[in-house]
A and B are shown apart, each in its own frame.
Chain A
Amino acid sequence: MRAVAGSLHGLVGLAPIAGLVLAWQVLLTAGWVPSALLPSPGAVLARTVASLGDPAFLGHLASTLYRLAAGFAIALAIVFALGLAGATSRIADAALRPVIRVLAPIPKIALYPALILSLGFDDAPKIILVAADALFPILLATYGGAGAVEQKLLWSARAAGTSRAGTILKVVLPATLPSILTGSRIALVVACIVVFLAEMITSTDGLGYLLVRSGRAFQTVDMFVPLLAISAVGLALDGALAAARRVLLRGFPEEE
């Protein structure tokens, strides 16, 4: 029953997307918009499918994915280290919180020129930028979650013989996991966006670079392909994370 209702809702959601594509097509067929400025949806789809068999395109996709994964992994490692420091030491916690508070609202993309200056035009500045941007959503969610761990869970574990340090691993970490995953989900989207932008600003490969290159050549059809690709990458990774979440958090109430 539920599954049927769910898929029905899913179908309803396809309507506006279909409508948008239809309106797009109508604009072109009616001749209101020249196809040089806006290619037809069919042409975009055909080019996207063709690109999937193109090794050059797949190479660009791989570069983007590599930067995404590396940056995200670095962000997670930093979250783990800072979270552990904050959880074990009151002094570290008191020192870290205001620093994070100050650094979080800074637009990290503004640091990109400085990163290029110090690290050159290769992968390194892009990976670091992804890490810097992915870091804060996870960190803030982790801190929020760790601060909200129910006192009596800690007491129950302590009474059962768990040491104070042991509760960090056995209670605080699993209790914070839902927040960490929620933060990661936001961070993943941020990471997709940032890696693309960094590649647009300075790069010789990657999806962002593809967009800029096509734009310079006024190949509007080709401009849509990397945009569709990054959207698909984001959706796929988000779906993977949601699946991981379901497995890891079987005991927790479902998040919408």
Chain B
Amino acid sequence: MSEALSAPLAGRGAPAVPHPGPPMIGMAGVTKTFKRRDGGTHLALDTIDLDVAPGEFVSILGPSGCGKSTLLYIVGGFVAPSGGKVTVSGDPVTGPGPDRGPVFQEFALFPWKTVLGNVAYGLREGGLSRRDAEARAGELIERVGLKGYERFYPQALSGGMKQRVAIARTLAYGPKILLMDEPFGALDAHTRIKLQNQLLELWERDRKTVLFVTHAVDEAVFLSDRVAVMSRQPGRIKEVVAIDLPRPRHRDELLLDRRYQRHVIDLERMIEDPPDLAS
């Protein structure tokens, strides 16, 4: 953890799709079945194979109910897979850990802690003294643009501010991987764009590995190096699309870029459900 804290990975080269050594995240044959109420089983995830290289930004794009969040929870170690294997830097995942930091759509801030207390939480758990933790937390709060709100409780903040606190809380303990579960799904369109830009800025600085779950095509194209498109029932990876857009990316330039438009149109077609056959 301290390694990531003290030595930000800023300035590392372009995302390495072919990468020697073990992938940062390896998913091999991951399946997840749920018991249904009538006693049958429901196949939520069907043999998912996906590798994510260090420093890569990969989105999982799919319609609601395709199991994309479940896949993220499995990588996080919150939910156990029914079959298959998940590795982080080659080591099998057995539970949650500070090497993988989650950011949830619901923010999941501790309501009994102030902004400062929330951001300092993971640092205190990592053994830092209160003073050091709060100093470091203060820096991160400033970095996400919330200086002056340290003593506020989450309930007094807007949705966008809450999510920035949640991102700061996760960044604070220096995870190698960010696991983002539709983080901007609960925000209004304007705030959403602002936070997407801010996330890219933060990411450009230290190039953490990001696994990003979303159902918004434009968001996935704007942010990602690669987009894994999932289909529903059972949840499968239909296709993995490399987004060959230069970085750093700027929204206004991208919107006029032919390649961006092409990706958006292609992906939109891909996630459209095929005409109902069986259901």
- Seen from chain A, the residues whose Cβ lies within 8 Å of a Cβ on chain B are 150, 152-153, 155-162, 166, 171, 174-175, 177, 249-253
Contact = CB atoms under 8 A, between A and B. Distances in A.
B137 to A, nearest CB: 12
Contact of A155 (B96, B122, B175): B96
A162 B121 CA distance: 10
B104 A251 contact: no
Contacts of A253: 155
Interface in B76-131: 76-78, 95-98, 100-102, 104, 106, 108, 110-114, 121-122, 125-126
A162 B154 CA distance: 21
B212 interface: no
Contacts of B203: none
B184 interface: no
A159 B112 contact: no
A102 to B, nearest CB: 28
Contacts of A162: 125
Given A153-B110, A159-B97, A175-B111, 7 more contacts: A155-B76, A155-B96, A159-B76, A160-B169, A174-B110, A174-B112, A251-B154
Contacts of B175: 159
A139 B94 CA distance: 34
A155 B153 contact: no
Contacts of A166: 125
B173 interface: yes
A202 to B, nearest CB: 44
A166 B154 CA distance: 22
Given A152-B106, A155-B78, A251 B111 contact: yes
Nearest to B100: A159
Nearest to B96: A158
A148 to B, nearest CB: 13
Given A159-B76, A251-B113, A252-B155, A153 B122 contact: no
Contacts of B153: 250-251
A166 B122 CA distance: 13
Given A153-B108, A161-B126, A251 B155 contact: yes
B166 to A, nearest CB: 8
B101 A159 contact: yes
A159 B98 contact: yes
Q: Which 5 A-B pairs have the closest CB atoms?
A: A160-B122, A251-B153, A152-B108, A158-B96, A161-B125
A175 B125 CA distance: 18
A65 to B, nearest CB: 31
Given A155-B76, A160-B122, A252 B173 contact: no
A139 B212 CA distance: 41
Contacts of A177: 112
A47 to B, nearest CB: 46
B108 A155 contact: yes
Contacts of A251: 110-114, 153-155
A166 B96 CA distance: 14
Most buried by A among B76, B96, B126, B155: B96
B98 A160 contact: yes
A161 B98 contact: yes
Interface in B201-247: none
Contacts of B97: 159, 161
